[in-house]
Amino acid sequence: MSQLENQIIEHLSGPNYKPIESGAIAKKLRVTKKDMSKFNGIIASLVAAGKVREGKKGRLQLKAGDGFVTGIVKKISSGAAFVVPNDRPADGSDRKAHDVYISERDLQDAQSGDEVLVRLTSERRGGGQRCGRIDKVLERSSSIFVGTYLEVDGQAFVRIDGTAFQADIHVGDPGAKGAQPDDKVVIEMLRFPSASRVGEAVLTEVLGKRGDPGVDTMSVVHGLGIPYEFSEDVLEDARHQAEMFDETDFGDRLDLTKETIVTIDPASARDFDDAISLRRDKRGHWQLGVHIADVAHFVPVGGALDDSAKDRGTSTYLPRHVIPMLPEVISNGLASLQEGQVRYTKSVFIEFDEKGFPQGAEVANTVIKVSKRFAYEEVMPVVNAPGNYRNKVDTKVVQLVLRMHELAMLLRRIRFADGALQMGIPEVEIDFDNDGNITGAHERHHDESHEIIEEFMLAANIAVAQILTAKDIPFLRRTHATPDELRLKGFQEFCAGLGYELDKFQSRREIQSVINSVAGEPEERAVNFALLRAMKQAEYSPEDFGHYALNEDHYCHFTSPIRRYPDLTIHRLIGDLAAGKSPKMANMGELLQLGKNCSTTERRAEKAERELKRIKLLRYLEDKVGEEMDAFITGVENFGMFCQGIKIPAEGLVHISSLADDFYNYNQTTRTLTGDRTKSEYRLGDTVKVVVVNVDVDRRQLDLRIVSPPSKPGKRRAPVATKKSKPQGKPAFGDKPRGSKGKGKPKGPEKSSKPPVKGRGKKPRKRK
């Protein structure tokens, strides 16, 4: 063991040590720049060996000794909690065999989401479940909360949103920051509540009156700790980049300004970060160019812009509001591929043979001028009736669109024939009026114009990942690990219970066959939701896990550097390669930590979108208690079922105690509740009629009651293995390749005479 490794372990073992990030440890140990690579390597080795744990915020701690467990707290309504161990197997096995039960008196002041050290006790619950008591809170999930201000007997309190805190939190004397009862406020916890003492906090900001326009949005933003405003340093850096940009200076970039290039985006889009060119050569081979805004040119490593983008990780898309990763002078200006404007890009050139099989790829630093901007709605009319546009759109542009459609549909057929997966769950968008109030909802229209861009973006992401892999360059991959066998087996049993046989549950082709077979059938939602629950989450990691849903060995996100920090890191590597330089390579430890941060910020942004939509939907239903609505079952548990409205996609709970007509038994395998006497059955995906019983916006709760049970579908037939139907719905289990709100594109080539993608001139090998 080296001296530096000894120092690290001694520091982590100190009695007063609080988990901190590796960079902070390096500073405390006075590690020099010269030794930082060695330091990061030791940290990565200790983490890989299981001697050191890296928390969700990158903070390090020694692995717990015998008789202790570290994990995440999940409180339950009784006031007690379970601790999910950090080393719990992710195979879906029985929770009781791994989770640790903590009674309310032994919970100390730990809250849901906190990472804790648990001292195991000799007690056991029914079924042999382990018990313990909290020894130490290692890392708080958050100390900043949002709630509703109230005053009682001359004292000020805050009722925190959600259900994590049952009691109000004391915030001192009334009137701090000018707060008035019923205001939404932000607090910072000074003393967390426990079973024996009340919580205490300081009020830091007043957001406005509960329910006022904009207040709900800011409540979610502050509650999740999303960076909202850019600092003056960041804005000044962005302004400096704008001043430095000279559109007449192409440098050593490949000039593509005379090429026919188009963008296809939503009609409401304000920034455009990807564009397409495509031609066929004399051999009939396709030469696809995917051109992505060169954000890396405007965001130098280590500057204020870069630090801010890394902290945000991603743009956050909220109903009627966007919190961008980069200031608008970059995202909507310099790096937006606007029609007729000279713009810097990084381009991937991919060659496909006449049958649509990739023959190689290369990258280049380029400069383009978009010939035509299309909205999605404008594309298919051109494809279906090109003659109608002879005098309206340039002939070269029309020909390009027709070629794009032909190649994209060819690539799509190959991709699904090769085993890619796609769910059949339609995406629902909420409709708002000008004041931000909900007026209804609709399914997002996803036609072949979207699929054109989706296929080209996927192709670019794959090509770039293959180039970097072939050159042994470590990079941040977009990974989607293979589902646990036990979960897939459960999905197989679930399908069998519905009358759909899945002989080989590991086979993507058979899974997709079942998805296609249930399209339009009563079981469609049930099967798709069950499959979603069997899948793991996609994440960012330098480890070569592959992408299960896409059935790709090598995949990364390259196509949306305006919106995603991982794409920006890939652009920097590709830019160096295209310029003939050796890329500056990060070590595995640094990439692992960056991947965790990017995965965390991505999930935070997704949670913010879900949370704000939920608030808006609950506000819509506040005055509709007693009204009936059609819904479908999105989840079945032993305590009841979750149902989502069909016209208004709000999700609520039907508690099992409200099913008064019978005693219902829960079957975890089939996700059903079945009545003892009536044999009435409620299962995942069933359509039911419910009545709104109670709405609590602040608690985020919607209580429903069944009005009429689901209608029984006819006898089900097992699917024919050869039955084909066009895949619909979300691409690759929500892993949108384009990276923005449903854009669905990949982006990307390195300039060389022999592209480094393996298999040039050959058909791709069969994937295992």
pLDDT digits (tens, 9 = 90+) for 609-645: 999 999 999 999 999 999 999 999 988 999 999 999 9
| Greatest mean pLDDT range, 80-84, 165-169, 469-473 | 469-473
Average of per-residue pLDDT across 212-216? 90
Dihedral angle at the C-alpha atoms of 314, 315, 319, 321, nearest 10 degrees?
150
pLDDT band (50, 70, 90) for residue 565? very high
**Parallel, antiparallel, or unpaired: how do β-strands 286-293 and 254-255 relate?**
unpaired
Q: Are 315 and 565 in contact (CB under 8 A)?
A: no
Longest dimension (CA), the chain: 86
pLDDT digits (tens, 9 = 90+) for 572-600: 999 999 999 999 888 888 898 899 999 99
The CA distances from residue 49 to 53, 540, 607, in Å, are 10, 21, 32
Which range (115-119, 156-160, 694-698, 719-723) has the least confidence? 719-723
Secondary structure letter of residue 522 according to DSSP? T
pLDDT of residue 762: 38
Q: What are phi and psi of 328, to 5 degrees?
A: -65, -25
Provide the residue type at 399 as one letter: Q
Count Cβ atoms within 10 A of the Cβ of residue 178 and give its class: 0-12 exposed, 13-18 middle, 19 or more buried: exposed
Q: Are 389 and 382 in contact (CB under 8 A)?
A: yes
Secondary-structure breakdown of the chain: helix, strand, coil percentages, each rounded to the nearest 5: 30, 30, 40
d(CA 301, CA 704) in angstroms, rounded, equals: 52
Provide the residue type at 748 as one letter: G
Which range (158-162, 436-440, 499-503) has the least confidence? 436-440
Identify how many contiguous H helices and E strands the chain contains and give both numbers: 15, 34
Secondary structure letter of residue 444 according to DSSP? P
**Residue 753: strand, helix, or coil:** coil
Rg (CA), the chain: 27
Which range (43-57, 341-355, 442-456, 620-634) has the least confidence? 43-57
List the domains of the chain with CATH numbers. 3-62 (1.10.10), 68-139 (2.40.50.140), 144-210 (2.40.50.700), 251-482+536-609+730-768 (no CATH), 623-696 (2.40.50.140)
Q: Does 213 score more than 50 pLDDT?
A: yes
Of the candidates 504, 498, 488, 505, the one whose C-alpha atom is nearest the C-alpha of residue 524 is 498
Contacts of residue 2, defined as CB under 8 A and 6 or more positions apart, other chains included, come to: 42
**Tokens describing residue 758:** 């393996």
Of the candidates 290, 149, 201, 203, the one whose C-alpha atom is nearest the C-alpha of residue 738 is 290
Q: Are 349 and 749 in contact (CB under 8 A)?
A: yes
Secondary structure letter of residue 330 according to DSSP? I
